[in-house]
Homo-oligomer: A and B are copies of this chain.
Amino acid sequence: MNLKELSAFLGLSQTTVSRALNGYPEVSEATRRRVTAAAELHNYRPNTRAKGLATGRSMAVGHVIPTSTRHEMVNPIFGDFISGAGETYAANGYDMVLSMVEDGDQARVYRELKAKGTVDGLILHGPATSEPRIGLLRELNLPFCVHGRASDETGAYSWVDVNNKSAFRRATELLIDLGHRRIALLNGLENMDFAKRRRAGYEAALEARGIAPLPELRRSEEMTEEYGHATAREMLSRDNPPTAFMVSSMISAIGVRRAVEEMGMTLGADVSVITHDDDLSYLRNGGEVPVFTATRSSVREAGRIAAQLLLDQIAQPGNELPTRLLEAPLVLGRSTGPARQAQAAQ
C-alpha cells in the first residue's frame, strides 16, 4: 500500500493524506481521523527512500566501527554503547546504520556516506589523541558527536566522555591511602585519548604524593584478557613486584585475577586491583559487594546521551555544539585492601 493507493481508497488527494498523516494544520480533524484510521487499517508506512528523497533527509545516523586486520579486535563495549544509542534512535524515528571499516579506510567511508546521503549524522568512535576524522567531518559538514575526546583537537566539536582523568586519579589515591607504593598501570593503547587521560590521572595522583611513576610498572596494549594475565604474571614474578594494579578494563582485570590466583595469591589481600568498569550488561561487577573495586560508568548510558546530542544537532543545526562529561564514581569491591608491607610496618 502506498500513498497513491491510500488516497484513492479515501477519495482524497495525496496532498491531503500526506498532510493529515504528518500533522499539518490544513486538514480538518474529521478527515485526519478518517485518514489515520485508514492508514492504520492498511498498515500504511511511507516509503523511507521516497520520503527521504523528497525531504532531503535520510532519518538515519551512522556508526563507523573501526576494525583492524592486525588483531581483528572488536571492542567489547560496542554492543552496549550501540544498544543505548539504539534506544534513543528508536524513540525518535531514526535508523542506525553500521559500517565496519578497517582503520585506513575510514576517511573514504566518511566521504562516501556523505556523498551517497546515507546518513544525516555520525557517531565517531574510538578517538585518538590526535584525530583527523574530526576535521574531515567538519569539512564535510556532517553533524557528528564523538564518544570520547581528542586532546589535540583545538576547535569545538560535540562529545560525550567519561572523566577518565579524575576517575583514575581518585582510584590511584585510594591505593596510595591503603599503603600501596608500587602501583602498576595496565592501560589501553596510549594513542587512544581515553588511555592518555587515565595515565595522566594515575600519574597526577602518584606525583601529588611524591611517588615517582616507574616506566617498568606501566604497560599499554589492546585490552584483552590475555594481556592482563600475561602482564600481571610477568610483573608479579619480579624481585620487587607491584602490590597493586590499576587496570583499564574489566576484561583485562579478569586476566589479572587469573594470574594472581594461579600464583597462589589472593585478590584484595596479597594484591589489590582497581579496574575501570563500563557496566557492560553481560559482565556485571555487581552484587551487594562488587568483585572489583572500580571506577564505574555505564557505556550504554553514554550511547543514549551521544545519540541524543547528535539528534539535537541535526534538529537545530545552528546551535552551540553540545558536550557532556560523565563522572565515574569509585565503587568499593573486594579486590582492594591494605598493602602487605604497610601492614607489616604497623
Contacts and interface: CB of A to CB of B under 8 A. Distances in A.
A53 interface: yes
A116 B74 contact: no
B47 A284 contact: no
A100 B92 CA distance: 13
A96 B95 contact: no
B76 A78 contact: no
A209 interface: no
A118 B48 contact: yes
A58 B187 CA distance: 42
Interface string A300-343: 10000000000000000000000000000000000000000000
Given A83-B74, A98-B86, A98-B96, A48 B117 contact: yes
B115 A281 contact: no
A71 interface: yes
A31 interface: no
Identical copies of this chain, number: 2
Contacts of A257: 258
Interface residues of A, number: 60
Given A78-B79, A83-B74, A97-B98, A115 B287 contact: no
Contacts of A284: 224-226
Given A44-B115, A95-B118, A224 B53 contact: no
Given A82-B98, A98-B98, A117 B282 contact: no
A234 to B, nearest CB: 14
B74 A76 contact: no
A126 to B, nearest CB: 13
A236 interface: no
Contact of A251 (B87, B96, B118, B282): B282
Interface string A151-169: 0000000000000000000
Contacts of A34: none
Interface string A91-111: 000011111110000000001
A75 B75 CA distance: 14
Contacts of A261: 261
Contact of A281 (B60, B72, B98, B282): B72
Contact of A282 (B58, B73, B99): B73
Contact of A46 (B47, B98, B116, B281): B116
14 contacts: A44-B115, A46-B116, A50-B53, A53-B53, A67-B83, A72-B300, A74-B79, A74-B80, A74-B83, A75-B282, A78-B79, A90-B99, A95-B99, A226-B286
Q: Which 8 A-B pairs have the closest CB atoms?
A: A86-B100, A45-B115, A76-B282, A49-B52, A74-B79, A49-B49, A261-B261, A48-B116
